[in-house]
Amino acid sequence: MTVAREWLEKGNAERDPVDRPVATRPHALRSSAARLQRTATSVRSYTRAMKSVASALRVRDATSVRDMSPVERLELAFRLGDEDLESFRATQGLDRRTAIRLLERRRQATRQPSACLERLIG
């Protein structure tokens, strides 16, 4: 039992758990207890009833990918990669070849320098 709840159930305390003066009238104590109980109940039921749209979409997507064959998964991966490249290209105002080179350079930026890759991607 919490300190606050014990204090409220005693009913004759002159100070609350953090040592602030409070009214000792019975109706003040009852309303505080009711407020505490209402808050705890409403928060509990609110969080249980709340469902995440993102979680539902994540489960749906995972299920659909899990049901695919390996070939279909590869096709999906390549299609998503092409869509991402097209989106990047359009936002940066680049042609496809330049966008690919720029992304390859960014991918290699934090890696160990390699003369071979420098020749390939510039």
* Domain encompassing residue 22: 3-49
Domain count, the chain: 2
Whether residue 10 contacts residue 22, with contact meaning beta carbons closer than 8 Å, is answered with no
Supply the pLDDT for residue 116: 82
Supply the pLDDT for residue 36: 58
Supply the pLDDT for residue 83: 96
42 and 79 in a common domain: no
Residue burial 18-34, b: 16+ Cβ < 10 Å; e: rest: eeeeeeeeeeebeebbe
pLDDT, tens digit only, all 122 positions of the chain: 555 556 556 664 455 455 555 555 455 555 555 665 655 555 555 556 667 888 889 999 899 999 999 999 999 999 999 999 999 999 999 999 999 999 988 888 777 877 887 787 76
- Give pTM, 2 decimals: 0.47
**115's tokens:** 């003369």
Q: Does residue 61 sit within a domain?
A: no
Q: State how far the Cα of 91 lies from the Cα of 88, in Å rounded to an integer.
A: 5
